[in-house]
Chain A
Protein backbone atom coordinates (compact mmCIF):
# COMPACT_ATOMS: atom_id res chain seq x y z
CA UNK A 1 0.00 0.00 0.00
CA UNK A 2 1.18 3.50 -0.84
CA UNK A 3 0.29 6.10 1.78
CA UNK A 4 -0.11 9.78 0.91
CA UNK A 5 0.47 12.13 3.82
CA UNK A 6 -1.55 15.19 2.93
CA UNK A 7 -0.85 18.68 4.20
CA UNK A 8 -3.46 21.00 5.61
CA UNK A 9 -3.33 24.46 7.07
CA UNK A 10 -6.09 25.47 9.47
CA UNK A 11 -8.22 22.63 8.17
CA UNK A 12 -7.81 23.55 4.48
CA UNK A 13 -6.06 21.05 2.27
CA UNK A 14 -2.81 22.32 0.69
CA UNK A 15 -3.33 21.98 -3.04
CA UNK A 16 0.03 20.22 -3.43
CA UNK A 17 -1.59 17.32 -1.54
CA UNK A 18 -3.54 16.56 -4.74
CA UNK A 19 -0.27 16.52 -6.67
CA UNK A 20 1.05 13.96 -4.17
CA UNK A 21 -2.12 11.88 -4.72
CA UNK A 22 -1.49 11.96 -8.49
CA UNK A 23 2.11 10.81 -7.96
CA UNK A 24 1.00 8.08 -5.54
CA UNK A 25 -1.45 6.69 -8.11
CA UNK A 26 1.34 6.49 -10.66
CA UNK A 27 3.69 4.85 -8.16
CA UNK A 28 1.11 2.36 -6.89
CA UNK A 29 -0.10 1.02 -10.24
CA UNK A 30 -2.44 -1.81 -9.21
CA UNK A 31 -1.45 -1.48 -5.57
CA UNK A 32 -3.76 0.33 -3.15
CA UNK A 33 -3.39 4.00 -2.29
CA UNK A 34 -4.53 5.34 1.05
CA UNK A 35 -4.29 8.85 2.42
CA UNK A 36 -3.62 10.32 5.83
CA UNK A 37 -4.27 13.78 7.18
CA UNK A 38 -3.16 14.94 10.60
CA UNK A 39 -3.85 17.99 12.70
CA UNK A 40 -6.65 19.25 14.87
CA UNK A 41 -10.19 19.72 13.53
CA UNK A 42 -9.31 18.54 10.05
CA UNK A 43 -12.62 16.95 9.02
CA UNK A 44 -12.98 19.40 6.12
CA UNK A 45 -9.61 18.46 4.68
CA UNK A 46 -10.39 14.76 5.20
CA UNK A 47 -13.74 15.12 3.40
CA UNK A 48 -12.05 16.81 0.42
CA UNK A 49 -9.39 14.10 0.33
CA UNK A 50 -12.04 11.36 0.45
CA UNK A 51 -13.09 12.35 -3.08
CA UNK A 52 -9.78 10.99 -4.37
CA UNK A 53 -9.57 7.43 -5.69
CA UNK A 54 -8.11 6.11 -2.44
CA UNK A 55 -9.07 3.05 -0.40
CA UNK A 56 -9.30 5.03 2.83
CA UNK A 57 -8.58 8.40 4.39
CA UNK A 58 -7.01 8.07 7.82
CA UNK A 59 -7.35 10.97 10.20
CA UNK A 60 -5.11 11.62 13.17
CA UNK A 61 -6.95 14.32 15.06
CA UNK A 62 -5.12 15.54 18.15
CA UNK A 63 -5.06 18.97 19.75
CA UNK A 64 -1.28 18.81 20.13
CA UNK A 65 -0.93 18.66 16.33
CA UNK A 66 -2.14 22.25 16.03
CA UNK A 67 -0.04 24.27 15.60
CA UNK A 68 2.35 22.18 13.55
CA UNK A 69 5.60 21.16 15.24
CA UNK A 70 8.18 18.70 13.88
CA UNK A 71 8.29 16.86 17.22
CA UNK A 72 4.50 16.47 17.35
CA UNK A 73 4.16 15.38 13.74
CA UNK A 74 6.97 12.84 13.93
CA UNK A 75 5.53 11.39 17.14
CA UNK A 76 2.08 10.96 15.55
CA UNK A 77 3.40 9.69 12.22
CA UNK A 78 5.65 7.05 13.82
CA UNK A 79 2.49 5.58 15.34
CA UNK A 80 0.41 5.94 12.18
CA UNK A 81 3.06 4.36 9.94
CA UNK A 82 3.57 1.59 12.48
CA UNK A 83 -0.18 0.84 12.39
CA UNK A 84 -0.75 1.17 8.63
CA UNK A 85 2.52 -0.45 7.44
CA UNK A 86 2.75 1.13 3.98
CA UNK A 87 5.50 0.09 1.57
CA UNK A 88 5.90 3.65 0.34
CA UNK A 89 4.97 7.07 1.72
CA UNK A 90 4.38 10.01 -0.63
CA UNK A 91 4.28 13.66 0.46
CA UNK A 92 4.32 17.02 -1.29
CA UNK A 93 7.77 18.68 -1.00
CA UNK A 94 6.46 21.72 0.84
CA UNK A 95 8.39 23.83 3.34
CA UNK A 96 6.57 21.97 6.10
CA UNK A 97 7.58 18.59 4.65
CA UNK A 98 11.17 19.78 4.41
CA UNK A 99 10.97 20.56 8.13
CA UNK A 100 9.73 17.22 9.50
CA UNK A 101 10.17 14.47 6.87
CA UNK A 102 13.97 14.08 7.22
CA UNK A 103 13.43 13.73 10.97
CA UNK A 104 10.74 11.11 10.39
CA UNK A 105 13.03 9.23 7.97
CA UNK A 106 15.88 9.32 10.48
CA UNK A 107 13.60 8.10 13.30
CA UNK A 108 12.26 5.29 11.08
CA UNK A 109 15.77 4.69 9.72
CA UNK A 110 14.17 4.53 6.27
CA UNK A 111 15.25 6.09 2.96
CA UNK A 112 13.93 9.50 1.93
CA UNK A 113 14.05 10.60 -1.68
CA UNK A 114 13.35 14.31 -1.62
CA UNK A 115 12.00 16.72 -4.21
CA UNK A 116 11.25 14.13 -6.90
CA UNK A 117 10.03 15.14 -10.34
CA UNK A 118 9.18 11.72 -11.77
CA UNK A 119 8.69 8.03 -11.05
CA UNK A 120 10.23 5.08 -12.90
CA UNK A 121 8.18 1.96 -12.24
CA UNK A 122 9.65 -1.48 -12.49
CA UNK A 123 10.50 -4.40 -10.25
CA UNK A 124 11.88 -1.85 -7.86
CA UNK A 125 10.68 1.73 -8.07
CA UNK A 126 13.09 4.51 -8.85
CA UNK A 127 12.59 8.25 -8.71
CA UNK A 128 13.93 11.09 -10.79
CA UNK A 129 15.29 14.12 -9.04
CA UNK A 130 17.24 17.13 -10.20
CA UNK A 131 20.75 17.65 -8.90
CA UNK A 132 23.40 20.31 -9.47
CA UNK A 133 20.76 23.06 -9.75
CA UNK A 134 18.89 21.14 -12.44
CA UNK A 135 21.94 20.56 -14.63
CA UNK A 136 21.58 16.79 -14.14
CA UNK A 137 18.74 14.42 -13.50
CA UNK A 138 19.48 11.45 -11.23
CA UNK A 139 17.38 8.34 -11.14
CA UNK A 140 17.65 6.95 -7.62
CA UNK A 141 16.19 3.94 -5.89
CA UNK A 142 15.65 3.47 -2.16
CA UNK A 143 17.82 0.93 -0.32
CA UNK A 144 17.19 -0.94 2.87
CA UNK A 145 14.17 -0.76 5.11
CA UNK A 146 10.55 -0.12 4.23
CA UNK A 147 8.71 2.10 3.93
CA UNK A 148 10.61 4.42 1.63
CA UNK A 149 9.60 8.07 1.83
CA UNK A 150 9.25 10.21 -1.28
CA UNK A 151 8.53 13.91 -1.48
CA UNK A 152 7.23 15.29 -4.76
CA UNK A 153 8.36 18.65 -6.17
CA UNK A 154 5.52 21.15 -6.28
CA UNK A 155 4.20 21.38 -9.82
CA UNK A 156 5.80 18.11 -10.98
CA UNK A 157 2.37 16.43 -11.06
CA UNK A 158 -0.96 17.98 -11.88
CA UNK A 159 -3.30 17.97 -8.91
CA UNK A 160 -6.37 18.37 -11.10
CA UNK A 161 -5.52 15.15 -12.95
CA UNK A 162 -5.41 13.04 -9.76
CA UNK A 163 -7.99 10.29 -10.07
CA UNK A 164 -11.26 10.94 -8.26
CA UNK A 165 -13.67 8.21 -7.16
CA UNK A 166 -17.42 8.06 -7.83
CA UNK A 167 -18.18 7.63 -4.14
CA UNK A 168 -16.35 9.06 -1.17
CA UNK A 169 -13.63 6.92 0.42
CA UNK A 170 -14.21 5.83 4.02
CA UNK A 171 -12.75 8.18 6.61
CA UNK A 172 -11.14 6.30 9.49
CA UNK A 173 -9.98 7.79 12.75
CA UNK A 174 -6.51 6.74 13.82
CA UNK A 175 -5.47 7.12 17.42
CA UNK A 176 -2.19 8.73 18.44
CA UNK A 177 -0.84 9.13 21.95
CA UNK A 178 1.31 12.23 22.26
CA UNK A 179 3.04 13.14 25.48
CA UNK A 180 3.09 16.97 25.58
CA UNK A 181 6.66 16.92 26.90
CA UNK A 182 8.03 15.51 23.62
CA UNK A 183 7.15 18.76 21.82
CA UNK A 184 10.11 21.10 22.27
CA UNK A 185 9.23 23.75 19.69
CA UNK A 186 6.84 26.55 20.64
CA UNK A 187 5.56 28.17 17.43
CA UNK A 188 3.94 31.60 17.31
CA UNK A 189 1.18 32.42 14.80
CA UNK A 190 2.33 32.82 11.17
CA UNK A 191 2.47 36.37 9.82
CA UNK A 192 3.22 38.20 6.61
CA UNK A 193 5.83 40.93 6.46
CA UNK A 194 4.29 43.04 3.74
CA UNK A 195 0.66 44.07 3.95
CA UNK A 196 -0.09 43.14 0.36
CA UNK A 197 1.73 39.83 0.36
CA UNK A 198 0.43 37.31 -2.12
CA UNK A 199 0.62 33.56 -2.25
CA UNK A 200 1.85 33.20 -5.83
CA UNK A 201 1.46 29.43 -5.69
CA UNK A 202 -2.31 29.96 -5.83
CA UNK A 203 -2.23 32.37 -8.79
CA UNK A 204 -3.85 31.22 -12.04
CA UNK A 205 -1.84 33.66 -14.16
CA UNK A 206 1.56 35.22 -13.56
CA UNK A 207 3.57 37.89 -15.36
CA UNK A 208 7.22 37.63 -14.30
CA UNK A 209 10.05 40.04 -15.01
CA UNK A 210 13.80 39.48 -15.22
CA UNK A 211 16.94 41.50 -15.82
CA UNK A 212 15.67 42.43 -19.30
CA UNK A 213 13.28 44.93 -17.69
CA UNK A 214 16.42 47.04 -17.14
CA UNK A 215 15.19 49.41 -14.45
CA UNK A 216 12.71 49.90 -11.65
CA UNK A 217 10.88 52.54 -13.68
CA UNK A 218 9.86 49.89 -16.23
CA UNK A 219 8.17 47.60 -13.68
CA UNK A 220 4.98 49.61 -14.27
CA UNK A 221 4.84 48.31 -17.85
CA UNK A 222 4.84 44.71 -16.65
CA UNK A 223 2.29 45.65 -14.02
CA UNK A 224 -0.05 47.00 -16.72
CA UNK A 225 0.20 43.71 -18.61
CA UNK A 226 -0.50 41.83 -15.39
CA UNK A 227 -3.57 43.97 -14.75
CA UNK A 228 -5.14 43.38 -18.18
CA UNK A 229 -4.40 39.65 -17.90
CA UNK A 230 -5.78 39.44 -14.37
CA UNK A 231 -2.36 38.12 -13.38
CA UNK A 232 -0.05 38.40 -10.38
CA UNK A 233 3.27 40.17 -10.86
CA UNK A 234 6.41 38.18 -10.03
CA UNK A 235 10.15 38.31 -10.69
CA UNK A 236 13.39 36.42 -10.91
CA UNK A 237 15.89 36.76 -8.07
CA UNK A 238 18.04 39.65 -9.39
CA UNK A 239 14.98 41.91 -9.58
CA UNK A 240 14.19 41.28 -5.91
CA UNK A 241 17.85 41.54 -4.83
CA UNK A 242 17.85 44.99 -6.46
CA UNK A 243 14.74 45.92 -4.52
CA UNK A 244 12.66 46.58 -7.66
CA UNK A 245 10.02 44.17 -6.38
CA UNK A 246 9.67 42.71 -2.88
CA UNK A 247 11.33 39.36 -2.11
CA UNK A 248 7.95 37.71 -1.63
CA UNK A 249 7.34 38.02 -5.38
CA UNK A 250 10.40 36.00 -6.24
CA UNK A 251 9.93 32.80 -8.24
CA UNK A 252 12.59 30.10 -8.19
CA UNK A 253 14.64 27.84 -5.99
CA UNK A 254 15.10 30.53 -3.36
CA UNK A 255 11.63 31.95 -3.86
CA UNK A 256 8.25 30.45 -4.57
CA UNK A 257 7.35 27.50 -6.77
CA UNK A 258 4.30 28.07 -8.91
CA UNK A 259 2.15 26.15 -11.38
CA UNK A 260 -0.28 28.68 -12.88
CA UNK A 261 -2.27 28.14 -16.05
CA UNK A 262 -0.40 30.97 -17.77
CA UNK A 263 3.13 32.23 -17.09
CA UNK A 264 4.50 35.14 -19.09
CA UNK A 265 8.29 35.57 -18.70
CA UNK A 266 9.47 39.05 -19.68
CA UNK A 267 13.23 39.46 -20.13
CA UNK A 268 14.00 36.37 -18.07
CA UNK A 269 16.97 34.35 -19.33
CA UNK A 270 15.76 31.13 -17.73
CA UNK A 271 18.57 30.19 -15.34
CA UNK A 272 17.72 26.88 -13.73
CA UNK A 273 17.27 28.53 -10.32
CA UNK A 274 14.33 30.37 -11.84
CA UNK A 275 13.04 27.55 -14.06
CA UNK A 276 12.65 25.11 -11.15
CA UNK A 277 10.11 27.49 -9.69
CA UNK A 278 7.89 27.88 -12.77
CA UNK A 279 8.30 25.01 -15.19
CA UNK A 280 5.13 23.42 -13.84
CA UNK A 281 3.08 26.20 -15.45
CA UNK A 282 0.65 24.84 -18.02
CA UNK A 283 1.36 27.45 -20.71
CA UNK A 284 4.59 29.42 -20.72
CA UNK A 285 5.13 32.49 -22.89
CA UNK A 286 8.71 33.81 -23.14
CA UNK A 287 9.63 37.21 -24.50
CA UNK A 288 13.37 37.79 -24.76
CA UNK A 289 15.73 39.46 -27.19
CA UNK A 290 18.31 36.66 -26.91
CA UNK A 291 17.28 33.71 -29.14
CA UNK A 292 19.65 31.43 -27.18
CA UNK A 293 18.09 32.25 -23.80
CA UNK A 294 17.33 28.92 -22.03
CA UNK A 295 13.85 30.18 -21.18
CA UNK A 296 12.89 29.20 -24.75
CA UNK A 297 13.65 25.56 -23.83
CA UNK A 298 10.71 25.49 -21.46
CA UNK A 299 8.40 27.94 -23.25
CA UNK A 300 5.32 26.90 -25.22
CA UNK A 301 5.27 30.20 -27.11
CA UNK A 302 8.30 32.34 -27.68
CA UNK A 303 8.72 35.81 -29.14
CA UNK A 304 12.27 36.92 -29.87
CA UNK A 305 12.26 40.68 -29.66
CA UNK A 306 12.22 43.85 -27.62
CA UNK A 307 9.85 43.60 -24.71
CA UNK A 308 9.45 47.37 -24.64
CA UNK A 309 7.79 47.17 -28.07
CA UNK A 310 6.03 43.84 -27.60
CA UNK A 311 4.42 44.37 -24.21
CA UNK A 312 2.54 47.58 -25.18
CA UNK A 313 1.34 45.79 -28.36
CA UNK A 314 0.07 42.83 -26.33
CA UNK A 315 -1.66 45.15 -23.87
CA UNK A 316 -3.52 46.97 -26.64
CA UNK A 317 -4.44 43.65 -28.29
CA UNK A 318 -5.91 42.42 -24.99
CA UNK A 319 -7.76 45.68 -24.41
CA UNK A 320 -9.28 45.40 -27.88
CA UNK A 321 -10.98 42.13 -27.07
Chain B
Protein backbone atom coordinates (compact mmCIF):
# COMPACT_ATOMS: atom_id res chain seq x y z
CA UNK B 1 0.00 0.00 0.00
CA UNK B 2 1.35 3.39 -1.02
CA UNK B 3 0.53 5.96 1.68
CA UNK B 4 1.09 9.72 1.68
CA UNK B 5 1.10 11.74 4.88
CA UNK B 6 0.71 15.50 4.60
CA UNK B 7 2.48 17.31 7.40
CA UNK B 8 2.43 20.96 8.36
CA UNK B 9 5.36 22.83 9.81
CA UNK B 10 4.00 25.08 12.59
CA UNK B 11 5.42 27.33 15.32
CA UNK B 12 5.72 25.50 18.63
CA UNK B 13 2.73 25.68 20.99
CA UNK B 14 4.80 27.58 23.54
CA UNK B 15 5.55 30.41 21.12
CA UNK B 16 3.71 33.66 21.86
CA UNK B 17 2.88 35.16 18.45
CA UNK B 18 3.47 38.88 18.03
CA UNK B 19 1.91 41.05 15.38
CA UNK B 20 4.17 43.27 13.26
CA UNK B 21 3.65 46.96 12.48
CA UNK B 22 1.44 46.24 9.48
CA UNK B 23 -1.07 44.62 11.85
CA UNK B 24 -1.54 41.81 9.32
CA UNK B 25 1.55 39.68 9.69
CA UNK B 26 3.62 38.13 12.45
CA UNK B 27 7.12 38.65 13.69
CA UNK B 28 8.39 35.13 13.39
CA UNK B 29 12.09 35.80 13.98
CA UNK B 30 11.97 34.26 17.46
CA UNK B 31 9.70 31.34 16.54
CA UNK B 32 10.88 27.76 16.55
CA UNK B 33 8.94 25.16 14.63
CA UNK B 34 7.69 21.64 15.02
CA UNK B 35 5.55 19.02 13.34
CA UNK B 36 1.86 19.88 13.65
CA UNK B 37 0.66 17.54 16.41
CA UNK B 38 -2.36 15.94 14.69
CA UNK B 39 -0.11 15.30 11.64
CA UNK B 40 2.29 13.41 13.92
CA UNK B 41 -0.59 11.03 14.74
CA UNK B 42 -1.34 10.70 11.02
CA UNK B 43 2.30 9.76 10.39
CA UNK B 44 2.24 7.21 13.21
CA UNK B 45 -0.94 5.65 11.78
CA UNK B 46 0.69 5.42 8.35
CA UNK B 47 3.78 3.70 9.81
CA UNK B 48 1.54 1.19 11.62
CA UNK B 49 -0.44 0.47 8.44
CA UNK B 50 2.81 -0.13 6.54
CA UNK B 51 3.96 -2.53 9.26
CA UNK B 52 0.69 -4.46 8.92
CA UNK B 53 0.14 -4.34 5.16
CA UNK B 54 3.63 -3.49 3.80
CA UNK B 55 4.19 -0.75 1.24
CA UNK B 56 5.61 2.73 1.33
CA UNK B 57 5.08 5.86 3.45
CA UNK B 58 5.80 9.16 1.70
CA UNK B 59 5.66 12.37 3.72
CA UNK B 60 4.86 15.67 2.11
CA UNK B 61 4.82 19.27 3.24
CA UNK B 62 4.07 22.57 1.51
CA UNK B 63 6.14 25.36 2.97
CA UNK B 64 9.27 27.48 2.82
CA UNK B 65 12.76 25.94 2.89
CA UNK B 66 12.80 25.73 6.71
CA UNK B 67 9.82 23.33 6.58
CA UNK B 68 12.22 20.58 5.46
CA UNK B 69 12.88 20.16 9.20
CA UNK B 70 9.57 18.30 9.70
CA UNK B 71 10.28 16.05 6.73
CA UNK B 72 13.67 15.04 8.19
CA UNK B 73 11.93 14.37 11.50
CA UNK B 74 9.32 12.19 9.77
CA UNK B 75 12.02 10.29 7.86
CA UNK B 76 13.82 9.68 11.14
CA UNK B 77 10.62 8.24 12.61
CA UNK B 78 10.45 5.79 9.71
CA UNK B 79 8.91 7.34 6.60
CA UNK B 80 10.52 6.08 3.38
CA UNK B 81 10.87 9.27 1.38
CA UNK B 82 9.68 12.87 1.30
CA UNK B 83 8.31 15.49 -1.05
CA UNK B 84 8.82 19.15 -0.24
CA UNK B 85 6.59 21.57 -2.12
CA UNK B 86 8.81 24.56 -1.59
CA UNK B 87 7.78 28.17 -1.97
CA UNK B 88 8.61 31.05 0.35
CA UNK B 89 5.06 32.31 0.01
CA UNK B 90 3.77 29.16 1.72
CA UNK B 91 4.14 30.56 5.24
CA UNK B 92 1.64 29.95 7.94
CA UNK B 93 -0.20 33.23 8.26
CA UNK B 94 -0.73 34.35 4.68
CA UNK B 95 -1.68 31.12 2.96
CA UNK B 96 -5.11 29.63 3.41
CA UNK B 97 -6.17 26.03 3.02
CA UNK B 98 -7.05 26.44 -0.67
CA UNK B 99 -3.50 27.53 -1.47
CA UNK B 100 -1.88 24.71 0.52
CA UNK B 101 -4.29 22.02 -0.69
CA UNK B 102 -3.89 23.17 -4.29
CA UNK B 103 -0.09 23.02 -4.08
CA UNK B 104 -0.22 19.58 -2.46
CA UNK B 105 -2.71 18.26 -5.02
CA UNK B 106 -0.49 19.30 -7.92
CA UNK B 107 2.56 17.69 -6.35
CA UNK B 108 0.86 14.42 -5.33
CA UNK B 109 -1.56 13.73 -8.21
CA UNK B 110 0.85 11.73 -10.38
CA UNK B 111 2.06 9.57 -7.50
CA UNK B 112 -1.30 7.76 -7.41
CA UNK B 113 -1.33 7.01 -3.69
CA UNK B 114 -3.71 4.37 -2.32
CA UNK B 115 -4.25 6.32 0.87
CA UNK B 116 -3.57 9.89 1.98
CA UNK B 117 -3.52 10.85 5.65
CA UNK B 118 -3.27 14.18 7.38
CA UNK B 119 -4.04 15.59 10.81
CA UNK B 120 -7.57 16.86 11.36
CA UNK B 121 -6.40 20.46 11.73
CA UNK B 122 -3.34 22.60 12.23
CA UNK B 123 -2.18 24.05 15.53
CA UNK B 124 -1.65 27.49 13.94
CA UNK B 125 -4.58 28.31 11.64
CA UNK B 126 -6.89 25.56 12.84
CA UNK B 127 -9.20 25.77 9.84
CA UNK B 128 -9.54 21.98 9.48
CA UNK B 129 -9.93 22.29 5.71
CA UNK B 130 -6.71 21.31 3.93
CA UNK B 131 -7.27 17.54 3.97
CA UNK B 132 -10.85 17.69 2.77
CA UNK B 133 -10.09 20.22 0.02
CA UNK B 134 -7.14 18.06 -1.08
CA UNK B 135 -9.44 15.03 -1.34
CA UNK B 136 -11.87 17.02 -3.49
CA UNK B 137 -9.05 18.33 -5.70
CA UNK B 138 -7.83 14.75 -6.24
CA UNK B 139 -11.37 13.45 -6.76
CA UNK B 140 -11.14 11.12 -3.75
CA UNK B 141 -13.64 10.16 -1.05
CA UNK B 142 -12.70 11.19 2.46
CA UNK B 143 -13.51 10.72 6.13
CA UNK B 144 -12.62 13.18 8.89
CA UNK B 145 -11.77 12.96 12.61
CA UNK B 146 -10.74 9.32 12.31
CA UNK B 147 -9.95 7.25 15.42
CA UNK B 148 -9.33 3.81 13.86
CA UNK B 149 -8.37 2.55 10.41
CA UNK B 150 -9.01 -0.96 9.07
CA UNK B 151 -7.78 -1.86 5.58
CA UNK B 152 -9.52 -4.60 3.63
CA UNK B 153 -9.50 -5.64 0.01
CA UNK B 154 -9.45 -2.37 -1.93
CA UNK B 155 -11.50 -0.68 0.75
CA UNK B 156 -11.30 0.97 4.15
CA UNK B 157 -13.40 0.82 7.26
CA UNK B 158 -12.72 3.77 9.56
CA UNK B 159 -14.06 4.86 12.92
CA UNK B 160 -15.11 8.51 12.91
CA UNK B 161 -15.50 10.53 16.07
CA UNK B 162 -18.84 12.32 16.21
CA UNK B 163 -19.94 14.81 18.83
CA UNK B 164 -20.86 14.01 22.41
CA UNK B 165 -19.05 10.68 22.76
CA UNK B 166 -20.62 9.15 19.64
CA UNK B 167 -18.67 7.23 17.01
CA UNK B 168 -19.46 5.73 13.65
CA UNK B 169 -17.83 3.22 11.35
CA UNK B 170 -17.76 4.24 7.71
CA UNK B 171 -16.67 2.09 4.77
CA UNK B 172 -15.13 3.77 1.75
CA UNK B 173 -13.28 2.58 -1.34
CA UNK B 174 -9.56 3.12 -1.94
CA UNK B 175 -7.95 5.40 -2.91
CA UNK B 176 -9.18 7.74 -0.19
CA UNK B 177 -8.09 10.50 2.16
CA UNK B 178 -8.49 10.47 5.95
CA UNK B 179 -7.98 13.23 8.51
CA UNK B 180 -6.67 11.75 11.74
CA UNK B 181 -7.65 12.74 15.28
CA UNK B 182 -4.99 13.21 17.97
CA UNK B 183 -4.86 10.30 20.39
CA UNK B 184 -5.65 7.59 17.77
CA UNK B 185 -2.40 5.83 18.68
CA UNK B 186 0.73 6.20 20.80
CA UNK B 187 3.43 8.18 19.02
CA UNK B 188 6.90 6.78 18.48
CA UNK B 189 9.91 9.03 18.54
CA UNK B 190 12.97 8.96 16.35
CA UNK B 191 15.77 6.66 17.43
CA UNK B 192 19.44 7.41 16.80
CA UNK B 193 19.40 4.65 14.21
CA UNK B 194 16.38 6.28 12.58
CA UNK B 195 18.08 9.66 12.51
CA UNK B 196 21.17 8.15 10.85
CA UNK B 197 19.04 6.23 8.33
CA UNK B 198 17.09 9.39 7.48
CA UNK B 199 20.22 11.07 6.17
CA UNK B 200 20.25 8.65 3.24
CA UNK B 201 16.57 9.08 2.39
CA UNK B 202 15.33 11.22 -0.45
CA UNK B 203 13.64 14.62 -0.01
CA UNK B 204 12.38 15.55 -3.46
CA UNK B 205 11.84 19.26 -3.94
CA UNK B 206 8.93 20.42 -6.06
CA UNK B 207 8.61 24.06 -7.05
CA UNK B 208 4.96 24.87 -7.72
CA UNK B 209 4.44 26.36 -11.18
CA UNK B 210 1.83 28.65 -9.67
CA UNK B 211 -0.11 28.99 -6.45
CA UNK B 212 -3.88 29.30 -6.20
CA UNK B 213 -5.22 32.75 -5.31
CA UNK B 214 -5.98 33.02 -1.58
CA UNK B 215 -9.70 32.94 -0.74
CA UNK B 216 -9.23 34.81 2.54
CA UNK B 217 -7.58 38.15 3.28
CA UNK B 218 -6.35 39.10 6.72
CA UNK B 219 -7.78 42.47 7.73
CA UNK B 220 -6.17 42.64 11.18
CA UNK B 221 -4.46 40.41 13.73
CA UNK B 222 -4.85 41.13 17.41
CA UNK B 223 -4.43 39.65 20.84
CA UNK B 224 -7.75 38.65 22.40
CA UNK B 225 -9.24 41.19 24.77
CA UNK B 226 -10.56 40.23 28.13
CA UNK B 227 -14.27 40.68 27.82
CA UNK B 228 -15.47 39.64 31.25
CA UNK B 229 -15.25 41.43 34.55
CA UNK B 230 -14.53 38.83 37.17
CA UNK B 231 -15.96 39.27 40.62
CA UNK B 232 -13.52 37.81 43.13
CA UNK B 233 -15.20 36.41 46.22
CA UNK B 234 -13.04 36.39 49.35
CA UNK B 235 -13.41 35.37 52.97
CA UNK B 236 -13.23 32.07 54.84
CA UNK B 237 -14.30 29.00 52.86
CA UNK B 238 -17.68 29.09 54.64
CA UNK B 239 -18.24 32.78 53.92
CA UNK B 240 -17.12 32.45 50.33
CA UNK B 241 -19.47 29.49 49.83
CA UNK B 242 -22.42 31.44 51.26
CA UNK B 243 -21.70 34.47 49.07
CA UNK B 244 -21.19 32.36 45.95
CA UNK B 245 -24.45 30.45 46.34
CA UNK B 246 -26.37 33.69 47.00
CA UNK B 247 -24.88 35.36 43.91
CA UNK B 248 -25.63 32.35 41.74
CA UNK B 249 -29.26 32.46 42.90
CA UNK B 250 -29.94 36.19 43.06
CA UNK B 251 -27.58 37.83 40.55
CA UNK B 252 -26.74 35.20 37.96
CA UNK B 253 -30.05 33.38 38.50
CA UNK B 254 -28.62 30.06 37.45
CA UNK B 255 -29.79 28.27 40.59
CA UNK B 256 -33.36 28.01 41.80
User: Taking the complex as formed, is A83 at the interface, i.e. its CB lies under 8 A from any CB of chain B?
Assistant: no
A103 touches B233 (CB 8 A): no
Nearest CB of A to B31, in Å: 10
Q: For residues 216 through 256 of chain B, which have their beta carbon under 8 Å from a beta carbon of chain A?
A: 216-224, 226, 228, 230-234, 237-238, 240-242, 244-245, 247-249, 252, 254-255
Say yes or no: A254-B183 contact (C-beta < 8 A), given A98-B144, A106-B136, A135-B223.
yes
Which secondary structure characterizes the binding site on chain A? mixed
A105 touches B164 (CB 8 A): no
Say yes or no: A198-B216 contact (C-beta < 8 A), given A130-B224, A205-B254, A313-B241.
no
Nearest CB of B to A152, in Å: 14
Say yes or no: A102-B132 contact (C-beta < 8 A), given A140-B217, A186-B171.
yes
A192 touches B219 (CB 8 A): no
Distance, CA A99 to CA B137, complexed state (A):
15
User: Taking the complex as formed, is B78 at the interface, i.e. its CB lies under 8 A from any CB of chain A?
Assistant: no
Stretch at the interface among B10-18, B43-51, B65-73: B10-18
A103 touches B240 (CB 8 A): no
Nearest CB of A to B214, in Å: 6
User: Taking the complex as formed, is B128 at the interface, i.e. its CB lies under 8 A from any CB of chain A?
Assistant: yes
A318 touches B245 (CB 8 A): yes
Kindly list chain A residues whose C-beta atoms are within 8 Å of the C-beta of B228: 284, 297-300
A283 touches B252 (CB 8 A): yes
B163 touches A317 (CB 8 A): no
User: Taking the complex as formed, is B123 at the interface, i.e. its CB lies under 8 A from any CB of chain A?
Assistant: yes
Best-buried of B222, B230, B234 by chain A (most CB within 10 Å) = B230
User: Taking the complex as formed, is A165 at the interface, i.e. its CB lies under 8 A from any CB of chain B?
Assistant: no
Kindly list chain A residues whose C-beta atoms are within 8 Å of the C-beta of B160: 99
Closest residue on chain B to residue A310 by CB atoms: B237
B128 touches A98 (CB 8 A): yes
Kindly list chain A residues whose C-beta atoms are within 8 Å of the C-beta of B123: 132-133
**Complex partner residue of B166 from A131, A192, A254, A286, CB under 8 angstroms:** A192
User: Taking the complex as formed, is B194 at the interface, i.e. its CB lies under 8 A from any CB of chain A?
Assistant: no
User: Taking the complex as formed, is A11 at the interface, i.e. its CB lies under 8 A from any CB of chain B?
Assistant: no
B215 touches A200 (CB 8 A): no
Chain A positions 121 through 165: 1 when the CB is less than 8 Å from some CB of chain B, otherwise 0 = 000001000111111111111111000000000000000000000
User: Taking the complex as formed, is B133 at the interface, i.e. its CB lies under 8 A from any CB of chain A?
Assistant: yes
Which residues of B approach A to under 8 Å, CB–CB?
11, 13, 15-17, 19, 93, 97-98, 101, 120, 123-129, 131-133, 135-137, 141-145, 160-173, 181-183, 213-224, 226, 228, 230-234, 237-238, 240-242, 244-245, 247-249, 252, 254-255
Which residues of A approach B to under 8 Å, CB–CB?
70-71, 94-96, 98-100, 102-103, 105-107, 110-115, 120, 126, 130-144, 184-194, 197-202, 205, 229, 247-248, 254, 256, 261-262, 282-286, 296-306, 309-310, 312-314, 316-318, 321
What are 21 residue pairs bridging A and B, where the CB atoms are less than 8 Å apart in the complex? Answer: A106-B98, A130-B126, A130-B224, A131-B126, A131-B221, A135-B224, A141-B217, A185-B172, A186-B170, A188-B171, A192-B166, A194-B165, A197-B166, A256-B165, A285-B248, A286-B230, A296-B232, A297-B228, A300-B228, A302-B230, A321-B245
Please name 5 further chain A to chain B contacts, defined as beta carbons within 8 Å, in addition to the given A135-B16, A140-B216, sorted by A numbering: A105-B133, A114-B128, A142-B215, A193-B165, A301-B247
